[in-house]
Structure 1
């Protein structure tokens, strides 16, 4: 909706794209199709490699409700919101640049340590499940089909996340791992590289 071009072909392609129907609910078939397409698109972006699918779904839901709220604004309200967003964007440019640099550094450290590109292993069904034991401990349930190397990779990611938290890391619950008997989901058999699966 923010397309800025005089190119007739780009305008035509943009107009042909599916968009939210804010006159109906998110569970309507049209909006469900838009949500599915957005998830496929976002999951294909390199920037989303480390973002859990649950968080991406939350972003999509928020986008729908933001578009719905925006559709109810008057012209004056839309212009005021646009100006406020412009000011906010200027303030966040530096923060976004730092985030992108951190992601690149993290990816570099992963490739340097493991010698592999791990961007294709971030599926929801690959992740461990957590079960809170007490206020201070949590059990991490690891699926038995995951290889030792893949488990080591996720442990290393946890280490990076903890180091990034600094002093706040002390607020995290202590974790201990338990392997649970679980077959790899059929939808992941062809997607996951051979080294990620235990023979």
Structure 2
């Protein structure tokens, strides 16, 4: 064909380097393919001696459409791994199935329904007498809810046993130890919730608060700076209300304490009719602990009572 000229490839150094890299990539792909073929043969040889309770997954290295030509047998233990979501669901169902010893409700029907639920016999082993019957009934309750999930019965039995152990451990725990553990949990949850409310109040009212303080306070919403040590227990205040005794860090300046006070006032306004969710906080002492390092390095001098350390 006249008038059409074939363009010769560019023989520049750049083109030669590109060609060399392409050849290296092609060789690497051949090597990887060889390793995959070897692994495939090893898997087939190792998993091909199953006992019947296995799941098959077809794999073809040469042609994906040729499924029957390469079958990898995966043991049932691998196929039946339960997801975290399903595991949480199973434990929730187990707790709902069993009786709650300290269940309270104003609805007599709910109280009666709880009393009718089974309870573990904690003076005997897991697989003895009544417990064995409870396990069988629990498995009959759980298994139909996870049909098609590929979860082995032994997985459910293990989680049922975990619930039995947890319930038994709590029942045998010293009441004083349990009360202390519960108090620590309440304090931690209360502190987290209170800090989150403070941050949200500042974010939604930043302009107002900054104008009130005549400063930009956006870098001060740090938990270790705003937290206050709470008392070991909630002390009774007025009827139907509890208060907590708190210890304030001495290193915080009056101006910084005023910032926190203003934020807390907005938190109360935001709660509205739900103000009862906040426990009254009674300041009883000041802590002489030094300024935390992360705060001393990044907080402005006006937030520290004695200035930078």
What TM bracket, shorter-length normalisation?
0.3 to 0.5
Q: Please identify the structure whose Cα radius of gyration is greater.
A: 2
**Could you tell me the TM-score, scaled by structure 2's length?**
0.30
Whose helix proportion is higher, 1 or 2?
1
Ranked by relative contact order (alpha carbons within 8 Å, sequence separation 6 or more), the top structure is 1
**Could you tell me the TM-score, scaled by structure 1's length?**
0.46
